[in-house]
């Protein structure tokens, strides 16, 4: 079983590494981290650099496809970009096609989400709907053979859900225990419903500013 | 404020990237990922390669020091290894010295934990006690200016606890909301108390085998 995590410059690190840490522990699964080009690839914050050893072309037919999010997805989520073309070409033969956070915008641009329920980061639900999905704010959404996770950290929950489907509940339990995933956030503001309104407005404004800085000015047609 | 995440070959990816994703969002904080050598650095599973741009020597006096865990810590946690020497030299002038998972064994080997309460991965609590700490199974432990987190995923909770101390509770809330950290594991086996006994025994056996494969045969003197 080949699991491909497809990256691009400006991906959000935890979106990819949360699921990586879960999926890489499935026996007999081969996890391949790939991107358009070999060599250095920086995340959206610019302080993490990966050394990419496999191109997207090296992994044309993965059994499981996973794409993370990042502010730059707002500009990449159009037909013709390398990551979207890779998804479009690979999806017909995957067992599962999956995303974390705004990675679902890339799935949408590849035509994967037409008529499906899906999720994304809480700030991007409107944008996801514009890509043909029925957007929902659930943490993990399974529709057909597509699984989407909500923002950033939801990739861990998405990946454990995927492990249940791929290898059974005992494997999901074993991996959860191996990474001691018994979360206890010291604060309780992890969703827009739980956060104080002024914190919610602040985060939405910071993300809008980041989108603006990335040159994103309009929603997709 | 300079935050240094010190790595070594065989680190566990999520131990480092969970906290990275939280800490890198503190305004005015500079997060530096560093290791003994520049260039390629592989994680413990061998499928993630970082491109290291800063050596440990480049960051001798960080304000915040963080080390992740990994099976290899059982062999690295002795005086004289580069990562332990770096911790020993940097600790006297840090504001906070921190670890995730078995990274606490490295803190112990550097003499940082003598007489302090600390935690680690649930499978390594005995080993931590052998390094001079009072080992406890809490998820995040603060003692003096040392903060330790439990296994792998606990790094996210540890880092949010650190943000509260560094930048206030509102900043911790904003970062938690930004990464939508409202965890909902699909299974409930994230601690040895919650997991079925046969799953707990399986995971302990797999980790013991990994330690054996890494050439670890004895606890530290």
pLDDT tens across A122-143, in order? 999 999 999 999 999 999 999 9
Contact B186, A164 (CB under 8 A): yes
Intra-chain end-to-end CA distance of chain B, in Å = 37
Q: What is the mean pLDDT of residues A4-30?
A: 97
Report pLDDT for B86: 98
- Residues A139-171 have pLDDT tens digits of 999 999 999 999 999 999 999 999 999 999 999
Report pLDDT for A99: 98
Q: Which residues of B touch A156 (CB under 8 A)?
A: 153, 183, 185
- Confidence band (pLDDT; 50, 70, 90) for A215? low
Report pLDDT for A124: 95
| B202: nearest CA partner in chain A | A174
Any bridge partners for residue B40, and if so which?
Answer: B51
Q: What is the DSSP letter of A98?
A: E
Q: Which of A17, A161, A191 sits opposite B180 (nearest CB)?
A: A191
From CA B158, how far away is CA A24, in angstroms rounded? 23
Neighbour count for residue B186 (Cβ, 10 Å):
17
- The proportion of chain B whose per-residue pLDDT surpasses 70, expressed as a percent, equals 97
From CA B117, how far away is CA B191, in angstroms rounded? 20
- Confidence band (pLDDT; 50, 70, 90) for B211? confident
- Residues B124-157 have pLDDT tens digits of 999 999 999 999 999 999 999 999 999 999 999 9
- Residues B75-96 have pLDDT tens digits of 999 999 999 999 999 999 999 9
Nearest to B29 by CA among B2, B61, B59: B2
Intra-chain end-to-end CA distance of chain A, in Å = 37
| B139: nearest CA partner in chain A | A184
Q: How far is B187 from chain A (nearest CA, A)?
A: 6
Q: Would you call A186 and B172 a contact, using CB atoms and an 8 Å cutoff?
A: yes
Q: Which residues of A touch B40 (CB under 8 A)?
A: 51
Report pLDDT for B87: 98
- Residues A58-102 have pLDDT tens digits of 999 999 999 999 999 999 999 999 999 999 999 999 999 999 999
Overall residue count recorded for chain B in this entry: 221
From CA B86, how far away is CA B109, in angstroms rounded? 11
Residue of A30, A125, A147, A185 for testing the chain B interface, max B β-carbons within 10 Å: A185
Q: Would you call B186 and A180 a contact, using CB atoms and an 8 Å cutoff?
A: no
Q: Would you call B33 and A13 a contact, using CB atoms and an 8 Å cutoff?
A: no
Tell me how far the alpha carbon of residue A146 is from its chain's centroid.
12
Average pLDDT, chain A: 95
Active-site residue, from A101, A106, A125, A159: A101
Q: What is the mean pLDDT of residues A181-190?
A: 97
Residue contacts between A and B (CB atoms, under 8 Å): 219
Give the HSE-up count for residue A124: Cα atoms under 13 Å, Cβ half-sphere: 35
Contact B141, B117 (CB under 8 A): yes
- Residues B150-177 have pLDDT tens digits of 999 999 999 999 999 999 999 999 999 9
Q: How far is A196 from chain B (nearest CA, A)?
A: 9
The owner of tokens 């037409």 is A114
Q: What is the mean pLDDT of residues B16-34?
A: 97
Contact B175, B26 (CB under 8 A): yes
Report pLDDT for A216: 55
Domains of chain B, each with CATH number or no CATH: 2-184 (3.40.50.880)
From CA A99, how far away is CA B221, in angstroms rounded? 47
Q: Would you call B174 and A189 a contact, using CB atoms and an 8 Å cutoff?
A: yes
- The proportion of chain A whose per-residue pLDDT surpasses 90, expressed as a percent, equals 93
Residue of A10, A179, A210 for testing the chain B interface, max B β-carbons within 10 Å: A179
Report pLDDT for A10: 97
Helix (H, G, I), strand (E, B) or coil at B44: coil
Among this protein's residues, is A123 annotated catalytic? Answer: no
Q: Which residues of B touch A50 (CB under 8 A)?
A: 48-51
Any bridge partners for residue A98, and if so which?
Answer: A66, A147
Average pLDDT, chain B: 95
From CA A185, how far away is CA B154, in angstroms rounded? 9
């Amino acid at each position: 079983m080949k699991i491909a995590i497809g990256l691009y410059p400006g991906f959000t690190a935890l979106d990819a590494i949360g699921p990586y840490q879960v999926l890489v522990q499935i026996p007999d699964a081969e996890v391949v981290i790939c991107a358009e080009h070999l060599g250095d690839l920086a995340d959206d914050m610019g302080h993490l650099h990966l050394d990419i050893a496999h191109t997207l072309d090296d992994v044309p037919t993965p059994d499981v496809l996973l794409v993370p999010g990042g502010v730059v997805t707002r500009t990449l989520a159009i037909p013709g970009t390398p990551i979207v073309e890779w998804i479009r070409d690979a999806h017909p033969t995957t067992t599962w096609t999956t995303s974390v956070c705004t990675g679902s915008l890339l799935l949408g641009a590849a035509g994967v989400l037409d008529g499906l329920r899906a999720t994304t980061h809480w700030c991007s639900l409107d944008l996801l709907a514009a890509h043909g999905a029925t957007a929902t704010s659930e943490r993990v959404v399974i529709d057909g053979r597509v699984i989407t996770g909500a923002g950033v950290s939801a990739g861990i929950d998405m990946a454990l859900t995927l492990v249940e489907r791929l290898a059974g509940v005992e494997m999901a339990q074993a991996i959860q225990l191996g990474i001691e995933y018994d979360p206890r956030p010291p604060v309780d503001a992890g969703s827009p419903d739980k956060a104080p309104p002024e914190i919610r407005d602040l985060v939405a404004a910071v993300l809008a500013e980041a989108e603006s800085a990335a040159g994103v000015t309009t929603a997709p047609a």
